Amino acid sequence: VAGMKGSELIKRMIRNYFYIFGCIMFLITILRQIFKPESSYDLKTIYIIMLFSLLSSIPGAVLLGTNKKISEMEMRIRAVIHFTLLELILVVLAWILGYVTDMVSGIVMASEVAIVYGMVRVLLWKSDKKSADLINEKLKEQKHGN
């Protein structure tokens, strides 16, 4: 992670960690309220989620949060590695928690993660495209004004 100070990296990791942990807890609480209101968290589950939130925060901070100047191709390779690591971490977490029990459920889970990841990417790109179009319109206006 050349180009990024250790303190910056740790700060980014801690921030990511709390985002991930908060989101998981929020979603699990809502989903349990809807589908399994009678069940409760045991301490072990919380520790497992804490551990995996930490593991999930590392690839993002290390691979995508660097200040080093990196090319478009290198950035894409990093995004692929990031996605693969996330898949791995999430499937292993689901397996430990007992949501994934065999190969088929593992593949289904990995596919779901891939679809959500892809959808987020597409939505993000569409929103960026809209921003870029607005900017280009203003740039054109500015050039014609001069």
Which residues in this chain contact other proteins in the complex, by CB under 8 A?
64, 67, 69, 72, 75-76, 78-79, 121, 124-125, 128-129, 131-132, 134-136, 138-139, 142-143, 146
* Closer residue to other proteins in complex, CB, 26/125: 125
* Closer residue to other proteins in complex, CB, 44/76: 76
Residues 25-54: b if buried by 16+ CB within 10 A, e if exposed: eeeeeeeeeeeeeeeeeeeeeeeebeebbe
Place of tokens 């790109």: 125
* Closer residue to other proteins in complex, CB, 44/126: 126
How near is the Cβ of 89 to other proteins at its closest, in Å?
20
How near is the Cβ of 14 to other proteins at its closest, in Å?
18
Q: How far apart are CA 97 and CA 41, in angstroms?
A: 12
How near is the Cβ of 42 to other proteins at its closest, in Å?
38
* Closer residue to other proteins in complex, CB, 112/141: 141
Tokens of 41: 């968290």
Q: What is the DSSP string of 23-87?
A: HHHHHHHHHHHHH-TT----HHHHHHHHHHHHHHHHHIIIII---S---HHHHHHHHHHHHHHHH
How near is the Cβ of 93 to other proteins at its closest, in Å?
24
